[in-house]
Amino acid sequence: MHVVTEPAAARSLVAARGSVVTIGAYDGVHIGHRAVIEEVRHLADTRGALSAMVTFDRHPAEIVRPDSAPCRLTSLDQKIELLETTGLDVLLVIRFDEERSHETAEDFVQEVLVDGLAPRAVVVGHDFHFGKNRGGNVEMLQREGAIHAFDVLGMRLVATSDAAVSSTRIRQLLHDGNVGNAASLLGRPHEVRGTVRHGDARGRELGFPTANVSVPDGVCMPADGIYAALYKTPDGVTRPAAVSLGRRPTFYVDAQASLLEAFLLDFDGDLYDQPAAVGFVERLRGEQKFDSIDDLITQMHADVAATRAALG
């Protein structure tokens, strides 16, 4: 997959064959997104074109409505890594800033699609909107397609038995601590990334040394609780881990922020200042306050056993 950041660079890649392209934030690259990408690739194959996507370096809501922007399911690096597994030929990552937020849908079509990706077809969700004041939609794209000779397909959202698959639905599941159902819609465990920082060494004192993972602001975190998780170390090895996410009420009364602490099973090594990736597999229980340290240690042993069982 070729990753470019300017329409002109995309044009040099697709000029000979044109493209079938989709547009969107694609936060999470969930199973619904993958269904759209599969359709893009299918149409591209049948037309002898390249498959392409236009996405953004941040969620547009972070600029348009920063006070109510959704948390991010994936960083830009994560999104690119996931998209690389889909078989797309070209990924055009557009910088979304204040100037871009004032661009009309018509100007976006001309600059990014027509001049950049030479589209033969455009595939989007049936309720897709873009451009200043959300002026662009499927009907608008169809009018532009009639002028610039590209087809437009508005796809219905993929649905499970109870609701459509969407990034919004996944965020709610994570908010509720339902990481299992979130993983089903993502097609993988929800993963957060950060750096291991020094903490108060309390876990080591209790016999369970933990990696304290500092996660950037704005990343979607599950509800506070204890989780069976998969921890990826910088060497690419994935290890089972019992994860505590919360405010540690046994020791602190008024902690304002949740802390992610990962106890790696059967591991003895130094992880300080190293990057970490934590994938949440199953929520074992909610966070609770214990009456004594001994009660807490007993529960921690039970949590490790439950983690082994959950991860097989």
Between strands 225-232 and 211-214, the pairing is unpaired
Calculate ∠ Cα 242-248-249, nearest 5°: 135
Question: What's the confidence (pLDDT) of residue 101?
Answer: 94
Q: Measuring CA to CA, how many Å separate 116 from each of 13, 77, 136, 150?
A: 9, 23, 18, 14
Assess contact for 18 and 53: CB atoms under 8 A: no
Collect all residues with Cβ–Cβ distance below 8 Å to 2 and sequence separation of at least 6.
Answer: 13, 89, 90, 91
Cα separation, 256 vs 198, in Å, equals 18
Looking at residues 119-125, what average pLDDT do you find? 96
Backbone φ and ψ for 196, nearest 5 degrees, come out as -80, 125
Give the residue carrying structure tokens 């934030």: 25
Question: What's the confidence (pLDDT) of residue 264?
Answer: 96
Looking at residues 297-310, what average pLDDT do you find? 95
Cα separation, 151 vs 137, in Å, equals 14
Assess contact for 84 and 26: CB atoms under 8 A: no
Whether 286 has a pLDDT exceeding 80, the answer reads: yes
Per the structure block, which two tokens stand in for 165? Answer: 């698959």
Tens digit of each residue's pLDDT (9 = 90 or more) over 48-72:
999 999 999 999 999 999 999 999 9
pLDDT confidence of 234, banded at 50, 70, 90? confident
Backbone φ and ψ for 292, nearest 5 degrees, come out as -150, 160
Between strands 90-94 and 50-56, the pairing is parallel
Q: Among 253-257, 279-283, 292-296, 301-305, which stretch is predicted with the lowest mean pLDDT? A: 253-257
Question: What's the confidence (pLDDT) of residue 84?
Answer: 98
Give the residue carrying structure tokens 């998780």: 229
Question: What's the confidence (pLDDT) of residue 201?
Answer: 65
Q: How many CB atoms lie within 10 A of CB 150?
A: 23
Cα separation, 56 vs 199, in Å, equals 35
pLDDT confidence of 269, banded at 50, 70, 90? confident
**In the chain, what are the domains?**
2-155 (3.40.50.620), 189-311 (2.40.30.30)
Question: What's the confidence (pLDDT) of residue 268?
Answer: 85
Assess contact for 124 and 24: CB atoms under 8 A: yes
Looking at residues 72-96, what average pLDDT do you find? 97
Question: What's the confidence (pLDDT) of residue 250?
Answer: 65
Return the SS3 of 94: strand
Closest C-alpha among 217, 216, 224 to residue 175 = 224
Looking at residues 208-216, what average pLDDT do you find? 92
Tens digit of each residue's pLDDT (9 = 90 or more) over 191-206:
999 999 987 766 676 7
Whether 141 has a pLDDT exceeding 70, the answer reads: yes
Question: What's the confidence (pLDDT) of residue 251?
Answer: 67
Question: What's the confidence (pLDDT) of residue 255?
Answer: 66
Question: What's the confidence (pLDDT) of residue 124?
Answer: 95
Cα separation, 285 vs 303, in Å, equals 9
If you average pLDDT over every residue of the chain, what do you get?
93
Question: What's the confidence (pLDDT) of residue 163?
Answer: 81
Question: What's the confidence (pLDDT) of residue 31?
Answer: 96
